[in-house]
Amino acid sequence: MAKNSLSARVIVSEKPDDDILRMVAAFIKERGCDRAEYTIDPDILGGIIIRIGDKVYDGSVRSRLETVRRFL
Amino acid sequence: MFDFTAETMLLSAITDMFDRMGITWSGILLHLINLVILTVGLYLLLFKPVKKMIRERQEKVKKIEKENADLNEEVKELKDSSRKVLSEAKQEAAVIHDNAVKVANQKAGEIVGDAKTRAKALIERTEAEMEAERKKMQTDVEQQIADVSLAVAEKVLGRSVSGEDNRRLIEESLKEWSERENG
Amino acid sequence: MIDLNEIGRSLKEKIAASPDRQAGRSTGRIVYSGDGIIKITGLSDVQYNELLDVRGGYRALALNLEHDSVGAVLFSGEESVRFGDYVYSTGKTLEMKVGEALLGRVVDPLGEPLDGLGEIDAEQSRPIEYPAPAIMDRGKVNKPLQTGILAIDSMIPIGRGQRELIIGDRQTGKTAIAVDTILNQKGENVVCIYVSIGQKASSLAKTVNTLRAGGAMEYTCVVCSTADDAVPLQYIAPYSGCALAEYFMYAGKDVLIVYDDLSKHAVAYRAMSLLLKRPAGREAYPGDVFYLHSRLLERAAKLSEEKGGGSITALPIVETLAGDISAYIPTNVISITDGQIYLESELFNSGVRPAVNVGLSVSRVGGSAQRKAIRKISGQLRINLAQYRELAIFMQFGSELDAATQKTLSRGAKLTDTLKQRQYLNYSVREMIVLLIVAQSETIDAIPAQKVTMFNEGFLDYMRMNKQDVLAEIDPDGEVGEALKGRILAAAEEYLNIAAGGGEEGENA
């Protein structure tokens, strides 16, 4: 499915600690990806966004707020 | 000259007078016969056609009278029948009128009923629209409240989601995604 | 007026109901946007006809799946989407809200209300594209769908589950026939759906008002896309309407669906296809324009008894240009449908309304569904009319005519007059039988040539008022006996006597 050269892009709101790095590494490994590029963007308010190829896993606080807003 | 008996004298006088006037007994007789012939001739030639003519006239008059009577009768009949026709026509006219009134009434009823249902529908629709308007206002208010609260939430969360909270959030997210994709 | 507590409560409910976290979704980015078309890279696992979420809350429909990009059409937000915006797949195809709640409403092709009467709470929805019923699931068309229009019900009968095309130039009364048919379904337990495709908003408003005033909205749903709606909305409108119709059909009901009109639908699809850079064929329509309409009309069917016996009767409308029925779209739809009602502007302008050209109109399956009494009486009608028209053309050469020919001509003219019918004046089956019997009898000779329409209207009123018993005795599914025929003709003569001279009643009626 995913090629080896594929790298995951991870966005977090603050500098990740080792725990997070480890969990994310395991997560992306399951999806055939062994590199992760980290970006720190306080604008997502918290949580994490992982992008692997076409797939996007959006667990940011901002997107949750957006979802709630759209639902209201 | 008048020595003879009276009768003889009278007779002879008459005869004498006749003689003097040139009238003889035979002449008288002949005249009589003449008269008879004349009378018969006249009767045959004149009287009969006249009588016939009169009779014919009478018949004509009778006929005309009869015709008159017939005509009268006819006129009477005509009058009768026209009266009858008139009354029938009146009756028929009444029926037609009745029918027309019936039709008109029904149509009027339909139109009024139609107008009523339309009015009712209009009222219902307006009510529904008002209700919808009210709902819309409510949602607008809701939206405003939601926007404000979300703005507040953003401001607060921007500072408070950090460290342990953030870590837990990420952990939960990763776990859920894994479960969803594997299960 | 506004209940604050309720606002609080509903807000809380909504927050509680909002999804917690989105699952991993396939995304792509917009690399081209123009004329309502977007091209997206990425989106590797998107499906054909899948609904896409564009950032900002807009929606799009994936139509072209290519090697390195996806072509999609936007339903809204044409001006707002930008290069590089993220597009998410939803894993769903387009769905239309369905349910009883839609009756009496005017909705857009996605099921959103347009009539300002509040939200529609429909629990269910159906995909707008759905396979047509299989052969084994279909039953025989055996029940008539009464249009209330004498010319159609007598000579071009439509059965429930049939697809009858209404075709004609603009301004020939196509929509009028469809609307009259919907109005005539009152009390017939038929659900009606009127799909407007790319129509002027003003004429649509007129139609809706007519339906509302006629009390027809109670059993009717109007699915509308107007001329200023986005092209994709016009494109999906008939499929949405059909999805709603299918809901009722599979629930065992009889449905009448009007597509007004499919030529605009084809034009919308052509616009979309050209913008998507699909190859153009005849008249610049894409190659699958036939399939576009056949897959829509195939969904109209009569289900077998085991499947509930419901039906969808489709009345697609196609507009021709200058009476040309051999153009691309008309021939396509004619070959798909089970017959057509051909309207002519020449007839319309000469006062024959509805302007049905009886010679070119046919119904391929409706005959078996026709009520028995009508079938018996109207058997000769078509032939008589054809003879009359032939003679009438001949007569134009102005030759001397013998008495028999003259009689045929005057009879024919009166028969044609009988078939004229005002809009919104629908006849019941019994009334049609009465009119047909009178029109084909000696009695018609006594009516002055110009007064036939007046006579018919007045006579029907007279029958309704005074001869209710005769009307009631007519059995639409049986045969009309000679005795009953005699009574009908006697009533006609009676009315003729009453109305003769003035005809005031006719004028009032």
Residue whose entry in the numeric block shows the structure tokens 């209700």 = B131
pLDDT tens for A1-57 read: 444 557 888 888 888 888 888 888 888 888 888 888 888 888 888 888 888 888 888
The per-residue pLDDT of chain B, averaged, comes to 85
One-letter amino acid identity for A9? R
Q: Return the closest-CA partner of residue C271 out of C166, C198, C327.
A: C198
Chains in contact with C via at least 3 Cβ–Cβ pairs below 8 Å: A, B
With beta carbons less than 8 A apart as the criterion, state whether C288 and C48 touch.
no
Is A1 part of any domain? no
C17: contact with A, CB 8 A cutoff: yes
Partner-chain contact C118 B141, CB within 8 Å: no
Q: Return the closest-CA partner of residue C412 out of C444, C377, C459, C375.
A: C444
Q: pTM for the complete prediction? A: 0.81
Residue whose entry in the numeric block shows the structure tokens 């629930």 = C251
Min distance A45 CA to chain B CA atoms (Å): 5
| Structural domain boundaries, residue A65 | 6-71
Is A28 part of any domain? yes
Q: Return the closest-CA partner of residue C193 out of C301, C94, C106, C297.
A: C106
Instruction: Determine how many CB atoms are found less than 10 A away from the CB of residue C419.
Output: 26
Q: For residues C242 and C191, give the distance between their C-alpha atoms in angstroms, rounded to a whole number.
A: 12
Q: For residues B93 and C476, give the distance between their C-alpha atoms in angstroms, rounded to a whole number.
A: 34
Q: Return the closest-CA partner of residue C241 out of C227, C258, C229, C228.
A: C258
With beta carbons less than 8 A apart as the criterion, state whether C21 and A51 touch.
no
Is A46 part of any domain? yes
The alpha-helical segments, DSSP class H, found in C18-78 are none
Q: For residues C261 and C329, give the distance between their C-alpha atoms in angstroms, rounded to a whole number.
A: 11
Catalytic residue among C212, C278, C364, C389: C364
Q: What is the pLDDT along chain C (509 residues), one digit of tens a residue?
A: 567 777 778 778 877 777 666 677 888 999 999 889 999 998 888 999 999 999 878 999 999 999 989 999 999 888 899 999 989 988 889 999 999 999 999 999 999 999 878 788 888 999 999 999 999 999 999 999 999 999 999 999 999 999 999 999 999 999 999 999 999 999 999 999 999 999 999 999 999 999 988 889 999 999 999 999 999 999 999 999 999 999 999 999 999 999 999 999 999 999 999 999 999 999 999 999 999 999 999 999 999 999 999 999 999 999 999 999 999 999 999 999 999 999 999 999 999 999 999 889 999 988 888 999 998 888 888 888 888 888 888 877 766 778 888 888 888 889 999 999 999 889 999 999 999 999 988 888 888 888 898 889 888 988 888 888 888 888 888 888 899 999 999 889 888 887 775 444 444 43
Is A50 part of any domain? yes
Q: For residues C237 and C488, give the distance between their C-alpha atoms in angstroms, rounded to a whole number.
A: 47
Partner-chain contact A64 C20, CB within 8 Å: yes
The pLDDT assigned to C21 comes to 64
pLDDT tens for B94-148 read: 888 887 788 888 889 989 998 898 888 889 888 988 888 888 888 888 888 888 8
Instruction: Determine how many CB atoms are found less than 10 A away from the CB of residue B55.
Output: 10
C473 in helix, strand or coil? helix
Domain definitions of chain B by residue range = 4-182
Instruction: Determine how many CB atoms are found less than 10 A away from the CB of residue C455.
Output: 28
Considering Cα of C132, then C136, then C140, then C144, what sign does the dihedral take?
A: negative
Q: Which residues of B touch C21 (CB under 8 A)?
A: 173, 176
Is A41 part of any domain? yes
Sequence-distant (≥ 6) Cβ neighbours of residue A36 within 8 angstroms: A7, A8, A9, A10, A24, A25, A28
Greatest CA span in chain A, whole angstroms? 42
Candidates C498, C504, C507, partner chain B, best to mutate (most B CBs within 10 A): C498
Label each residue of C362-421 as H, E or C.
Answer: EECCHHHHCCHHHHHHHCCHHHHHHHHHHHHHHHCCCCCCCHHHHHHHHHHHHHHHHHCC
ipTM for the complex? Answer: 0.80
